[in-house]
């Protein structure tokens, strides 16, 4: 494990966030106290408080950290495609990246679901923590649809919500073994074909 002294200062927030994610996935969110995360990440409690303040801010930063990693993976999927990146191909890459079909994406999905379960009147974790990322994704998809489709009766925001609701349901199905990832990918692609063809 990297210690506080062995990590360059600009990498310490990432070290802390990775420690939070590891601990939350292994023991659950309730066990991921500031002190426990400090021990997991090999840093002082004071350093975590310096960067993140409290557990709610740490948790929010951890989800945003995973969201950025997922976005980078989407960009990499697009880069691996040919140069003719149509709206269908771009959205397909985005949706396929959101499906939990490998260890990292399954970890992201498990952690996000843990946050949704954790919400309660006595929780110190705001429901906004789990809403902000999906809202950003919805707005991004809606903007793509608005720019890429000319159908006048299409509500881009509603179409984005429908698509992402489908992806979320399929993701849950993959996590419990109801769907194989390749089946989920085929369903998403068929939905996109119908959406775009109807323009």
> 68 pLDDT band (50/70/90 cuts)?
confident
pLDDT for res 88: 84
Q: Looking at the 3D structure of the chain, how many domains does it have?
A: 2
**Does any domain span residue 23?**
yes
Same structural domain, 44 and 126:
no
Same structural domain, 23 and 98:
no
**Sign of the Cα pseudo-torsion (29, 34, 36, 41, in order):** positive
Under DSSP, the state recorded for 121 is: T
Average pLDDT of the chain?
Answer: 85
* Structural domain ending residue among the three candidates 11, 27, 53: 53
**Sign of the Cα pseudo-torsion (49, 50, 53, 55, in order):** negative
**Does any domain span residue 58?**
no
- pLDDT tens per residue across span 96-152: 888 999 888 888 888 888 877 776 544 556 667 778 888 988 999 999 999 888 766
**Does any domain span residue 60?**
no
CATH assignment of the domain containing 2: 1.10.10
**Does any domain span residue 79?**
yes
Same structural domain, 127 and 191:
yes
Same structural domain, 123 and 183:
yes
Same structural domain, 102 and 49:
no
Same structural domain, 22 and 77:
no
Roughly how many angstroms between the first and final C-alpha of the chain, as a whole number? Answer: 53
- pLDDT tens per residue across span 140-170: 999 999 988 876 678 999 999 999 999 999 9
**Best CA proximity match to 132, nearest among 157, 118, 115:** 115
- pLDDT tens per residue across span 20-37: 999 999 998 888 999 999
Query: How far is CA 194 from each of CA 4, 96, 104, 143, 190, rounded to the nearest angstrom?
Result: 52, 17, 30, 18, 6
Same structural domain, 82 and 106:
yes
Same structural domain, 72 and 41:
no
Domain limits for position 126 = 68-197
Same structural domain, 128 and 193:
yes
Same structural domain, 24 and 97:
no
88 touches 192 (CB < 8 A):
yes
Angle, alpha carbons 59-60-63 (nearest 5°): 85
Same structural domain, 154 and 179:
yes
> 9 pLDDT band (50/70/90 cuts)?
low
Is 147 buried (19+), middle (13-18) or exposed (0-12) by CB count in 10 A?
A: exposed
What residues have CB less than 8 Å from 124, skipping those under 6 apart?
54, 55, 56
Q: Structure tokens of 176? A: 């419990």
Same structural domain, 72 and 46:
no
159 touches 195 (CB < 8 A):
yes
CATH assignment of the domain containing 97: 1.10.357.10
**Does any domain span residue 72?**
yes
**Does any domain span residue 61?**
no
**Does any domain span residue 93?**
yes
**Does any domain span residue 62?**
no
């Amino acid at each position: 494990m990297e210690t506080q002294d062995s990590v360059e200062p600009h990498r310490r927030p990432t070290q802390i966030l990775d420690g939070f994610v590891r601990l939350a996935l292994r023991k659950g969110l309730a066990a991921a106290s500031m002190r426990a995360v400090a021990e997991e990440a090999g840093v002082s409690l004071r350093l975590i408080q310096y960067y993140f303040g409290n557990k709610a801010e740490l948790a929010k930063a951890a989800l945003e950290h995973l969201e950025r990693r997922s976005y980078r993976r989407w960009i990499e999927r697009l880069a691996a495609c040919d140069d003719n990146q149509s709206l269908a191909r771009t959205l397909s890459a985005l949706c396929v990246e959101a499906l939990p079909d490998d260890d990292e994406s399954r970890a992201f999905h498990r952690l996000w679901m843990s946050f949704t379960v954790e919400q309660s009147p006595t929780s110190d974790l705001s429901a906004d923590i789990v809403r902000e990322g999906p809202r950003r994704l919805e707005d991004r998809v809606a903007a793509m649809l608005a720019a890429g489709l000319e159908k006048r009766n299409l509500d881009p925001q509603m179409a984005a919500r429908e698509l992402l609701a489908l992806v979320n349901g399929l993701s849950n199905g993959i996590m419990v073994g109801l769907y194989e990832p390749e089946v989920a990918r085929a369903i998403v692609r068929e939905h996109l074909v119908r959406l775009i063809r109807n323009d």
